[in-house]
Each structure stands twice: as C-alpha cells, then as structure tokens.
Amino acid sequence: MIKIEKEEWFFIFLIWLILTFLIFFPFLVGKIMEPKDSIFLGFQNINIIDTPYYYSLIEQAKDGHFLFRYNSTSEPHPYFIFDPFWLSVGILAKIFNLSSIYTFQIVKFFVIPIFLISSYFLISFFFEEKKKRKWALLILTFASGWGWIFLSFLPLIPGMSINGVIDLKKFVDSRGVFQFPIDFWVPEAFSFFSLYNSPHFGFSTSLIF
C-alpha cells in the first residue's frame, strides 16, 4: 500500500503554490493592464486558435445545451458533440454566473492540485524513498525539452529573422507541416505547458495517471 507522509503532502502544497504563481501571474498582469473599453481574453501565443473554441463550449453550456457544435464554420450542422469536461465547466459558469474567461482560469486553478496528487501517487508506486519521489515530481512538473537552446541561436543565423523577430514561415516544409521544437507550440508535450495552457490537458493527464 502506498503511504504518503505529512512532509510529502507539504512538499506537494509548496509545488502547488509555485505553479499557481507561475501560471496565473501573466493572466493577472494582463487583466491589470487591460485598456479601457477593451477586454483581455487571456489568450497565449500558443494554442491561440483552440482557446476561443473552449470559450465557445462554455458559452454553449451556459445557454443550456448539453451537446455542442463547432461555431467557427458557416456550414449548418446540429448540436452533436458530447464533451463531459467542458459541459461540467459550462454548468459551473452558469451556476455562479461567471464569464467563460474567468471560469477557464478558475478550473485551471483546481486542476493543478488534482494533477500533482495523481502524479505523486503514480511516482510513489515506483519509488519508496521520499527524496526520489520529490525529485521525480519536480522533473515531471517543470522539465521540458532543449528547444530553447535552438531558439536562442536562431536570430543570429542570417535570413532566419525579420527585425529580430523569428520568421516562422522558414519552418514550414513542402507539405505545410510546421517543423519547430515542440517546446514552443505543442501544449500537451510537457506537464507545465499543459497546466499553463488549458485545464482539460491537466485533467486528462490526471485521469491517465
């Protein structure tokens, strides 16, 4: 039987505090700097196409729909998509009369401890020593790839940037496939990226664990 001691729970709590600060600080800054007569949508440069779709699912659930449809097409189609996660999020938004933007962030807040606890239980299945468990949780939570090294040298290569901004068109191959380190554009690739990007990534990973 897996046994987690009080000291370990305190460690998980500290990681949760650090994650919460890192993940929500950019959003809070964006809301504080929100111009008058404008709305900060909380979008990130990564997954910017999908986030409005998640917002639309929340709004559809608030409107009383239990099935969803894809609102970003002019093609007529019925409500046919069943998504229990976003349906639950939308019902939560409706009950507490919250905007989809704030609900999205609040659910992320509650998914983080679920992810950390499920991760630690999985880690504890393989390691009995507390020190190894803690290091494994840190690596699982914060580790990523080496793409930042590649990205750091790109502006120094002639023709790879325009006025200091990396020309992403250079990294689309003849098939139209984006060839770039996944550290910067695949939110499901790493734990921190998943938790930072959307609550359903962290929640689905927790269910797998």
Q: Kindly report the backbone phi and psi dihedral angles of residue 166, in degrees, each rounded to the nearest multiple of 5, phi listed first.
A: -60, 130
Quick: pLDDT tens for 84-125. Answer: 999 999 999 999 999 999 999 999 999 999 999 999 999 999
30 neighbors 43 (Cβ within 8 angstroms): no
Quick: pLDDT tens for 197-208. Answer: 999 999 999 999
The pLDDT, as a whole number, for residue 161 is 64
Q: How much is the pTM?
A: 0.84
Is residue 160 pLDDT above 80, yes or no? no
Q: Kindly report the backbone phi and psi dihedral angles of residue 88, in degrees, each rounded to the nearest multiple of 5, phi listed first.
A: -65, -40
Sorted by where each begins, the domain ranges of the chain are: 6-145+190-208, 147-180
Quick: pLDDT tens for 32-84. Answer: 888 888 888 877 777 778 888 999 999 999 999 999 988 888 888 888 889 99
The DSSP string of 26-61 is HHHHHHHTPPTT-------STTTTTHHHHHHHHHHH
User: Rounded to an integer, what distance in angstroms lies between the CA atom of residue 71 and that of residue 54?
Assistant: 11
81 neighbors 69 (Cβ within 8 angstroms): yes
Mean confidence (pLDDT) of the chain:
87
